[in-house]
């Protein structure tokens, strides 16, 4: 399980990985819907230990509209390896001015 905060400041939202490992699946859940014709895209991000170099992961999922369940997940990507001490976070990209919602994410690591 990872912990982080909702912040536009990168260093406030990154989590340090205590051990090396590989992410093989990614899950996100919203507390409520984004709204009709609106969405949130969540992208898993991988940073070096200093938080200065991002390595693209290609891992993302999108929650759209008012459909239930308010979840997205993916396991159809090349697994992403992390070393102990590297940083992980999730970028959130809203589309269509969605309703503000709390998001929860997890990954199999």
Looking at the whole model, is its pTM more than 0.85?
yes
Residue 52 to residue 68: CA distance in whole angstroms: 37
What string of DSSP letters covers 59-92?
-EEEEEET-SS-EEEE--S--EEE-TT-EEEEEE
Contact present, 39 and 98 (Cβ < 8 Å): yes
pLDDT at 40: 95
Per-residue pLDDT tens over the stretch 12-66: 678 889 999 999 999 999 999 999 999 999 999 999 999 899 998 999 999 999 9
Q: Cβ–Cβ contacts within 10 Å for residue 73, how many?
A: 15
pLDDT at 3: 52
């Amino acid at each position: 399980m990872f912990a982080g905060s909702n912040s536009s400041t990168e260093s406030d939202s990154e989590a340090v990985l205590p051990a090396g490992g590989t992410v093989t699946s990614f899950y996100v859940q919203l507390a409520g819907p984004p709204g009709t014709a609106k969405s949130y895209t969540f992208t898993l991000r991988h940073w070096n230990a200093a938080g200065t170099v991002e390595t693209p992961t290609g891992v993302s999922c999108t929650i759209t509209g008012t459909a239930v369940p308010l979840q997205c997940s993916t396991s159809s990507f090349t697994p992403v390896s992390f070393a102990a001490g590297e940083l992980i976070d999730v970028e959130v990209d809203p589309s269509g001015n969605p309703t503000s919602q709390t998001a929860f994410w997890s990954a199999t690591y």
